[in-house]
Structure 1
Amino acid sequence: MGSRIMQLLSLCLYVSLHSVVTSSFTPPDNYLVNCGSNTNVSVDNRVFVADGIQPGSVFLSSGESVSVTNPNPSSIAAPLYGTARIFKTASAYTFKINKLGTHLVRLHFSPFVTEDYNLGNANFSVSANGLLVLSHFSAKKPVFKEFVLMADKVNFEVLFVPNGEEDGLAFVCAIEVFSTPDDFILDNGVKLIGPNGVQEFKDLRLQTLETIHRINVGGPKLTPFNDTLWRTWVPDEEFLVSKLTAKLANTTHPPNYQKGGASREIAPDNVYMTAQQMNRDNTSSGFSYFNVTWDFPVGAGSVRHFVRLHFCDIVSIALNQLYFDVYINEFVAYKDVDLSSLTFHSLASPYYIDFVVDSENSRIVRVSIGPSDLSNILRKNAILNGVEIMRIVNFVGIRAESKKINKWILVGSIVGGVAVVCLAILAVLVVLRSKRRKAKPRPAESMGWTPLRGFGGSSLSKQSIVTTSTSPGQNGYLALKIPFAELESGTNNFDKNLVIGSGGFGMVYKGVLKDSTRVAVKRGVRGSRQGLPEFQTEITILSKIRHRHLVSLVGYCEEQSEMILVYEYMEKGALKNHLYGSNLPPLSWKQRLEICIGAARGLHYLHTGSAQGIIHRDIKSTNILLDENYVAKVADFGLSRSGPCLDETHVSTGVKGSFGYLDPEYFRRQQLTDKSDVYSFGVVLFEVLCARPAVDPLLDREQVNLAEWAMEWQKKGLLAQIIDPNLVGNINSNSLKKLGETAEKCLAEYGVDRPTMGDVLWNLEYALQLQDSKEPSQDTNHTTPEVLEHEAVPTVYSCSSRTDGDIQDATTDVTSGEIFSQLVNKEGR
């Protein structure tokens, strides 16, 4: 009994101390106004004073205004919304600022109806500190607008301007203006995320921010009573793209605040004591490669948004267990987040990261978290505790429809604007003139790795792959170098309107070289070493092989801290876009088979064109591209590896690939073979047939993984029931049967039971013959075995030993025609 009493006393002591701590912040400026009222009102232990009670500190400037009271108090949403002040002309509240700096401004509105006024019909604009924050605003329900801005003048003015003529109205029910802590908004460390990668964003404190969302991820709604800055935090559930991917995490222990991290004014304790993490319980086959994603509506318009993400590692039991990646609007925002290092090697310590992003008219800001390649394969996880999204308001002075705003401000703005335009034109002329005088290009900056030189001196000369009749020649890799200036010119200075894709490496732009060659330009994040191995591997492989069904490397650039790869342009884009997720016309069954055959030819060449061969490691529908004639070409060789030597059965290497396509045997044993590509290709075959993603977490649990779901129907002999509706009635039954059997063999649990890509290719060509046949055979197997004998490689060379990531010499002069001669002549098998 005594022990129980002591526990209760300890708990009471903690609660009392916690209350003192959470209410410790006292704003130097703290103006709370109950507008249109003659009495004060208490809300969340704060007193809102009636406007006019304290002249000299809170007062109305000249202008016509009326006080009104809600005639239906039973419908009042909050005590602050019982009264309002109405303005018929431009009018302002002025506040004396004691400490210049960042302030929070909240404006409360409730559009109630009185005998003389309908506040729901009011349409007006509001400026704060001379900046337009609300334009043509109308409130249709009780709402408040919150802004974070710099108070840089002693007299801080909030100005209301009715829109319209004689009958125009503006109104407000309550106003809050108070100081924030000095570290609430900082200029340093803010990351600008967009098509050009991650850059530094400066002068954030000078921006005016309008709060759009404040989210307590994984937790309940938090009211101003629980927040030292009197904020409201709402749950994240309605914003989750797929609830199946997320799992709640929480703790009863208070956060371990560290100097240099977040404070209770950045976010309250309860935000950091709850979170969402990856729900690995709902993933099939033990896969851990997926993201947790939230979509936050932000309205229309191409504007920038400030995004603050809150983190606190409440899921790890030891340091350096949690590594994850953060994505915003599909761009990599922060790679390999390690909260242990960021919080000075402590667990459960709050931390936040600030970003600025462009909404690009998408109407949403998408935030995703996913596992990092640095984390242990068995402990891959990601976590998010809170999200704040604010619109960056343009620096535009309010226009005075009422004509009573000082006209000299307008005149001064016009004159100043003209002067700025003139200066800008002059600056452009000076720059252009200096460029014409500039004869020599600036020297290239090294990427921090051995430059690609001729075969004699480059470190990459030891990583040559298979070659065909086309070779880099005597100049080696230098022959493929393209000047940065040419790529900059060919993409209109990397115009975001020319972006045709994006991925982990960077953005892909449509471009034109000076010889009028159309190209796809893949640009890595400038100055970053992220993706360097993939960059080297792509150049190494694609510079030395050519095949009709492999995307060709046109060149590369490594100047000025850039990593850029230039490919032949593929007019029709990725196969995926022709199957689902776009408005493109559906492909016919014959087109789909021809595309699969082309991709299979490219993969077969990779696997058998040399003694070791090349394993792609990332086969999926987004890496199969189509040219203007729908000819398929395999792309993206950043994860490719040389295959095992003749005396080896596999390559031991870390697991790489894409969730949904990954070979489960490779995943379990970390032993890579060309049969891993065969498995991935089997998933693509079902993807082509069913026209749905390899993984769709929005579907029922048994349908989430395409490979598992389709295999169930295939084994029942009912595959025709799940095909793309556009194909119903247009597929020869024997052709469908042959493709289903081929895909089933590809998806065998063990690699030794899967066919080679040569076998797959033969079966696909036979499926195409069956589709073209007017009288198809009822027995699809009487002319050919389901799994054919492995093809002999025309020329074999010995392999030297190698380590993970290296691709050793294994060159041959065999052409694609020689390799595929056996495919058109059955006796060759």
Structure 2
Amino acid sequence: MGYCKSSLLVWILPTMCLICVSLGVDNYRIDCGSPTNTPVGDRVFVADDFDSNILSTPQDVSVQTRKESISSAIDLALYQTARVLNGTSSYTFSIKEHGYYWIRLYFCPFVDGNYNLSIAKFSVSAQSFTLLSDFQPQDGSVVKEYCLNINSDNLVLTFTPSANSFAFLNALEIVSLPNDLIPDGARTVDPPIKYQTFTRRALETVARVNMGNQTVSPQNDTLWRLWVSDEPFLNHVNLVNFVSNFKAVNYSTKWHNIAPSSVYGTATRLNSQPDPNTAVNMTWFFPVDPGFEYLVRFHFCDIVSTSPAQLFFNVYINTWLVALNLDLSNLTSNVLGTPYFMDVVAKSSNSRNLGVSVGPSTLGIGYPDGILNGLEIMKLSNSRGSLAASDFEVSSTNKVWVILGVTIGGSFIAVLLSLFLFVFCKRRRRRSSLVAHSTEDHFVVDEDQISRTVENKYDSGTAIISSSKIGYRVPFVAIQEATANFSESLVVGVGGFGKVYKGVLRDGTKVAVKRGVSQQGLAEFRTEIEMLSQFRHRHLVSLIGYCHEKNEMIIIYEYMENGTLKNHLYGSDLPGLSWRQRLEICIGSARGLHYLHTGYAKPIIHRDVKSANILLDENLMAKVADFGISKTGPEIDETHVSTAVKGSFGYLDPEYLTRQHLTEKSDIYSFGVVMFEVLCGRPVIDPSLPREMVNLIEWVIEWEKRGELEKIIDPRLEGETKPDSLRKFGETAVKCLAECGIDRPTMGDVLWNLECALQLQGTDKRITLNGELAPQVNAIGNFEMSVCSTQFSMGSAGDLAGISMSGVFSQMVKAENR
């Protein structure tokens, strides 16, 4: 069938004047297949049933449906008719003003007498860009929105049906955009460098979201944009508050094109009120196509503060840091309620989700806080000028075949070379053997030659990055500078992975730099970065960055001023810790571990809980560290993970050690050992002591059974511990050390009991000579006994997720003060 130009569209000047609004003169809106013009708000979509030179198509086919056949949730005005394109067809639009344009394509499949639009399959291109490839719209309406920089006098939009199929379109818009809407450029987040301009790229709108759980309709946006509610994208709704404060917005006309005032008047805010110590991120996940770069625009407006410099927070895309300690007041001249937006470019790698997170600042100022008002995500066309997901999949498949072909060919060549070398070496050995028998000389083996033949497959520094999308890479030269080229005078610790150095970055930030000693630790290196990049918590050490170049494996953490808990308990001349300080350190550590065990769908098991892996900051706040051998726990319908035994001698769960059954209860056992170290201020195994004292666990349990723990506690604590506090602490530790994991408490239970021990310690030191508490303290002890036993029997402490128990203990505090 030959192609002919169909007389389909006529553009009437009065109608064109209606739709050429302030956006520009080159604006086209068409209600495809409709015999009449269609008003939608203050816009008019023009009919396309008259002669015109706009559309070239082999057949004049329009279809129409009844309103009842389309869901009421769909805007009926534009989806009642459609233009069917049975062959390659082109829309050609005259462009007088060059610049950025929106192309909006409206699709809603329905069944006509001759056509079932849901089986249509086609591709769409504009200029040199592929917008859609083998696209098949189904299940309701969809609007595809693209942005192109048009620098020619015509915009050509081409529809190409797939084999044995057809294309269709319900409506389309070509709308010129304000000059300030698309940025000249934006920085990337990995690595953080200035990004090239977007003039030669096509963009596709992936998400346009209004935070605060409120939708903004196109009628309330000067550019007719739909801003959907953020609630469906939130990972944990219970971690946020939805805020609305339109009066607080300091809005002016210059922001109309960026976002409407209703976007800046609502926000989603981090909810830190249940427990200020649980400093987690609020995170949204958006479906994206892998292999593309994305322009991400963050919209901020401080509508929650009462004065400037009260709100500080961090911003992340996936695990990349976008903004550290962001202070909106500093960016808006200390004028509260002033809108602010930030553009960055990120790559999704092979993931089908792009995560955006806002979390507490590392400055530690006030309660953990953070807000986000709006978000836009736009896909950038790839090097082939395509926005189609299938283009990436085909490219990836081709790469697989190329790699497979090279591998097979290489293997064949390797076999031939191996045979040749085998024959050659055999002849050479025979010749050498004859020489050895005929002379007295000795042979020297060149072992360097052997080592030179071993190729390090991680030389490029990219292998571990490709699948994990992790972290913020720091150049090796920057780390050398921060550590004075790894000066021995800056070594603050040594472990199985390597040495830890104190460093200072150019901005004055103190950091801890852990440097691996060999590629044998690559698995631990990767695991630690992946684990640390997944979570943020007040009592987990924070990842700042990493380096994997020049065969180096380096991880950079926040610097902990007071080192390890172990060094404060024994083996160094560091100052000792009071009983209250020890209790607070145990509580902080328990909160961190409790978050690991309950903060995700599957628990994260640390596997190496010990006093050397609990670090203390300048305020002696505890943070759990070293996640190199951590492992994801069992599925909901499983009881354990079967895995090889890893951990530290003396801290290993007997059940895990003998049966290789790993659960979060393995961490509970190790934590119980740490509690005994805290109690006695000595190592787990000490061969220098008498036989009955060598094993700390056996020794303490024996004295706990006698009810005489006060006789074996750290001598530096003498006269400082209250009996009920000491008893509660000892009982909890012993429960953690039960032989069978099922008999051990959860970390939530442990945390509850430690809070209880701290409250029982109180501030009153009045103890009678026979060791009994004064009457008012006995009353507290009786109250504590009933509350704690009830809590254990209900088994609900684990559901508290680290929430502070201060409210629960308010009666105890009042009783003590009477």
TM-score range, shorter chain: 0.5 to 0.7
In the aligned structure 1, how far is the partner of 2:36 from the partner of 2:656? 82
Cα separation, partners in 2 of 1:205 and 1:621, compared to 1, 3 Å: closer
In the aligned structure 1, how far is the partner of 2:384 from the partner of 2:665? 65
The residue that corresponds to 2:143 in the other structure is 144
The residue that corresponds to 2:272 in the other structure is 280
RMSD: 5.4
Aligned with residue 360 of structure 1, among 324, 349, 354: 349
How does 1:246-261 map onto structure 2 within 5 Å?
Answer: 246-253=240-247, 255-257=249-251
In the aligned structure 1, how far is the partner of 2:671 from the partner of 2:327? 40
Q: CA deviation at 1:29?
A: 2.2
Cα separation, partners in 2 of 1:126 and 1:391, compared to 1, 3 Å: same
Aligned with residue 369 of structure 2, among 381, 391, 405: 381
The residue that corresponds to 2:189 in the other structure is 193
In the aligned structure 2, how far is the partner of 1:733 from the partner of 1:494? 35
- 1:670-692 Cα deviation digits (max 9, x unpaired): xxx788766555567x66xxxx7
Contact 2:23 2:178 in 1 (8 A): no
How does 1:294-313 map onto structure 2 within 5 Å?
Answer: 294-299=284-289, 301-313=290-302
Q: CA deviation at 1:787?
A: 8.6
Contact 2:216 2:227 in 1 (8 A): yes
Q: Does residue 726 in structure 1 map to residue 716 in structure 2? A: no
Cα separation, partners in 2 of 1:82 and 1:578, compared to 1, 3 Å: closer
Matched-pair identity in %: 28
Q: Which amino acid aligns with 2:374?
A: G
The residue that corresponds to 1:60 in the other structure is 55
The residue that corresponds to 2:209 in the other structure is 215
Q: Which amino acid aligns with 2:524?
A: G
Q: CA deviation at 1:91?
A: 0.9
The residue that corresponds to 2:122 in the other structure is 124
Q: CA deviation at 1:389?
A: 1.2
Q: Does residue 693 in structure 1 map to residue 596 in structure 2? A: yes
Cα separation, partners in 2 of 1:135 and 1:548, compared to 1, 3 Å: closer
In the aligned structure 2, how far is the partner of 1:742 from the partner of 1:565? 24
Q: CA deviation at 1:648?
A: 6.6
Cα separation, partners in 2 of 1:580 and 1:360, compared to 1, 3 Å: closer
How does 1:336-355 map onto structure 2 within 5 Å?
Answer: 336-355=325-344
The residue that corresponds to 1:108 in the other structure is 106
In the aligned structure 2, how far is the partner of 1:175 from the partner of 1:248? 35
Cα separation, partners in 2 of 1:154 and 1:289, compared to 1, 3 Å: same
Partner SS state of residue 204, structure 1: coil
Cα separation, partners in 2 of 1:737 and 1:290, compared to 1, 3 Å: closer
Partner SS state of residue 682, structure 2: helix
Aligned with residue 202 of structure 1, among 196, 201, 217: 196
The residue that corresponds to 2:432 in the other structure is none
Q: CA deviation at 1:264?
A: 1.7
Q: Which amino acid aligns with 1:109?
A: F
Cα separation, partners in 2 of 1:112 and 1:581, compared to 1, 3 Å: farther
Q: Does residue 293 in structure 1 map to residue 283 in structure 2? A: yes
The residue that corresponds to 1:28 in the other structure is 25
- 1:763-819 Cα deviation digits (max 9, x unpaired): 9x999979999xx99987579969955499xxxxxxxxxxxxxxxxxxxxxxxxxxx
Q: Does residue 75 in structure 1 map to residue 70 in structure 2? A: yes
The residue that corresponds to 1:438 in the other structure is none
Cα separation, partners in 2 of 1:198 and 1:779, compared to 1, 3 Å: same
Q: Which runs of 5+ in 1 are unaligned?
A: 1-22, 400-488, 508-522, 583-616, 624-632, 652-662, 666-672, 701-705, 708-721, 793-829
Contact 1:292 1:369 in 2 (8 A): yes
- 1:682-709 Cα deviation digits (max 9, x unpaired): 567x66xxxx715627799xxxxx99xx
Q: Which amino acid aligns with 2:655?
A: I
Which one has a bigger Cα radius of gyration? 2
Aligned residues: 555
Q: Which amino acid aligns with 2:596?
A: P
Q: Does residue 44 in structure 1 map to residue 34 in structure 2? A: no
Contact 1:94 1:156 in 2 (8 A): yes
Partner SS state of residue 79, structure 1: helix
Contact 1:119 1:171 in 2 (8 A): yes
- 1:567-624 Cα deviation digits (max 9, x unpaired): 2242542798899999xxxxxxxxxxxxxxxxxxxxxxxxxxxxxxxxxx9776999x
Cα separation, partners in 2 of 1:542 and 1:734, compared to 1, 3 Å: farther
The residue that corresponds to 2:218 in the other structure is 224
Cα separation, partners in 2 of 1:395 and 1:758, compared to 1, 3 Å: same
How does 1:530-545 map onto structure 2 within 5 Å?
Answer: 535-536=482-483, 539=486, 544=491
Cα separation, partners in 2 of 1:756 and 1:226, compared to 1, 3 Å: farther
Cα separation, partners in 2 of 1:112 and 1:567, compared to 1, 3 Å: same
Cα separation, partners in 2 of 1:537 and 1:786, compared to 1, 3 Å: farther
The residue that corresponds to 2:426 in the other structure is none
Cα separation, partners in 2 of 1:676 and 1:51, compared to 1, 3 Å: same
In the aligned structure 2, how far is the partner of 1:321 from the partner of 1:581? 27
- 1:125-176 Cα deviation digits (max 9, x unpaired): 0011231100000111321111111111111111111111xx4211111010
The residue that corresponds to 1:599 in the other structure is none
The residue that corresponds to 2:524 in the other structure is 573
Contact 2:349 2:466 in 1 (8 A): no
Contact 1:125 1:136 in 2 (8 A): yes
Q: Which amino acid aligns with 1:382?
A: G
In the aligned structure 2, how far is the partner of 1:739 from the partner of 1:497? 28
Cα separation, partners in 2 of 1:637 and 1:677, compared to 1, 3 Å: farther
- 1:343-365 Cα deviation digits (max 9, x unpaired): 22211111111111111121111
In the aligned structure 2, how far is the partner of 1:550 from the partner of 1:699? 27
Q: Which amino acid aligns with 2:375?
A: V
Cα separation, partners in 2 of 1:173 and 1:647, compared to 1, 3 Å: closer
Cα separation, partners in 2 of 1:226 and 1:84, compared to 1, 3 Å: same
Contact 1:111 1:118 in 2 (8 A): yes
Cα separation, partners in 2 of 1:731 and 1:149, compared to 1, 3 Å: same
Cα separation, partners in 2 of 1:219 and 1:791, compared to 1, 3 Å: same
The residue that corresponds to 2:429 in the other structure is none
Q: Which amino acid aligns with 1:98?
A: K
| TM-score (normalised: structure 2) | 0.57
Cα separation, partners in 2 of 1:111 and 1:30, compared to 1, 3 Å: same
- 1:638-686 Cα deviation digits (max 9, x unpaired): 33446999897789xxxxxxxxxxx9x7xxxxxxx788766555567x6
In the aligned structure 2, how far is the partner of 1:278 from the partner of 1:394? 35
- 1:321-376 Cα deviation digits (max 9, x unpaired): 11111000111011121211222221111111111111112111100111223362
Partner SS state of residue 238, structure 1: helix
In the aligned structure 1, how far is the partner of 2:307 from the partner of 2:501? 48
The residue that corresponds to 2:168 in the other structure is 171
Q: Which runs of 5+ in 2 are unaligned?
A: 1-19, 388-455, 545-553, 604-608, 615-635, 643-652, 717-818
Q: CA deviation at 1:542?
A: 8.1
| TM-score (normalised: structure 1) | 0.57
Q: Which amino acid aligns with 1:293?
A: T
Q: Which amino acid aligns with 2:280?
A: F
Q: CA deviation at 1:737?
A: 11
Contact 1:759 1:789 in 2 (8 A): no
How does 1:146-545 map onto structure 2 within 5 Å?
Answer: 146-164=145-163, 167-188=164-185, 190-194=186-190, 197-253=191-247, 255-257=249-251, 263-283=255-275, 286-287=276-277, 289-299=279-289, 301-374=290-363, 376=365, 378-394=366-382, 396=384, 492-495=459-462, 497-498=464-465, 506-507=472-473, 523=474, 535-536=482-483, 539=486, 544=491
Partner SS state of residue 341, structure 1: helix
How does 1:798-809 map onto structure 2 within 5 Å?
Answer: none
Q: Does residue 758 in structure 1 map to residue 682 in structure 2? A: yes
Partner SS state of residue 118, structure 2: helix
Contact 1:104 1:146 in 2 (8 A): yes
In the aligned structure 1, how far is the partner of 2:271 from the partner of 2:302? 16
Partner SS state of residue 113, structure 1: coil
Q: CA deviation at 1:245?
A: 1.3
Partner SS state of residue 246, structure 2: coil
Cα separation, partners in 2 of 1:325 and 1:540, compared to 1, 3 Å: farther
In the aligned structure 2, how far is the partner of 1:61 from the partner of 1:738? 70
